[in-house]
Amino acid sequence: MPTTLPTLAARGAAAAALLLAVTACTDNSPTTSSASSPSGRQQSSTRPASTPSSGRNTAMNIQVTIDGRPVDATLNDNAVARDFASLLPLSLDLEDFHQTERIAYLPRKLNTSGAPDPAAPKAGDLTYYAPWGNMALFYRDGDSASADLIILGHVDNSDNQRLANAEHITVEAAP
């Protein structure tokens, strides 16, 4: 039996209503992102729908010793920075990565639940790259924010040339 014009119109209206209902129920905020860190690493990561701000408010003073020379630094007030603080004191060898940052691998991966919103790293930032489980100390500003790169804190009054050549770092609670 041939389909009548009113039946086609009814089917079209039903399909449009279904499409509207499905799209109205979706969350427009992305929960996954494929981002490239400032140093060119690319990974995918899932984030909670609501995360705190970039976490640059400082909560804990720490002391960073770079090649035997101490400098003051601060850790941000976020869950990942607190997990990092639980590892202190740390003594790590550094290697260069992309002529932007010095990296070292932590004894264990940090818990990234409750991580702050991504922010572009600045020279002097102490960061954590979640996919690799490494800490990074930036001596140049990063290109852009990455959901996989979490800013843990900042080295105060950093000498970027000294950071660029650093071979060893010790991180501990401030005296």
From the list 134, 137, 129, 141, the residue with the least C-alpha distance to 169 is 137
Under the banding of pLDDT at 50, 70 and 90, the label for residue 79 is very high
| CA separation for the pair 113, 124 (Å, rounded) | 24
pLDDT of 38 > 70? The answer is no
46 within domain boundaries? yes
8 within domain boundaries? no
Average pLDDT of the segment spanning 52-57: 45
Q: Return all residues near 17 (Cβ < 8 A) that are at least 6 apart.
A: none
Under the banding of pLDDT at 50, 70 and 90, the label for residue 85 is very high
Report pLDDT for 27. 40
> In terms of residue numbers, what domain contains 139?
39-173
160 within domain boundaries? yes
| CA separation for the pair 113, 80 (Å, rounded) | 7
Mean pLDDT computed over every residue of the chain = 77
Average pLDDT of the segment spanning 102-130: 97
144 within domain boundaries? yes
Q: What is the CATH number of the domain that holds 167?
A: 2.40.100.20
118 within domain boundaries? yes
For residue 18 the two structure tokens come to 């279904």
Q: Which amino acid is at 73?
A: A
pLDDT of 41 > 70? The answer is no
Residue 166 backbone phi and psi in degrees, to 5: -60, 135
18 within domain boundaries? no
19 within domain boundaries? no
Q: Is 149 exposed, middle or buried (0-12, 13-18, 19+ CB in 10 A)?
A: buried
24 within domain boundaries? no
169 three-class SS: strand
Provide the domain count of the chain. Answer: 1
∠ CA 99-104-108, nearest 5°, is 145
| CA separation for the pair 29, 137 (Å, rounded) | 31
Q: Which residues of 64-79 are buried (b: 16+ CB within 10 A; e: fewer)?
A: bebeeeebebbbbbbb
Report pLDDT for 57. 52
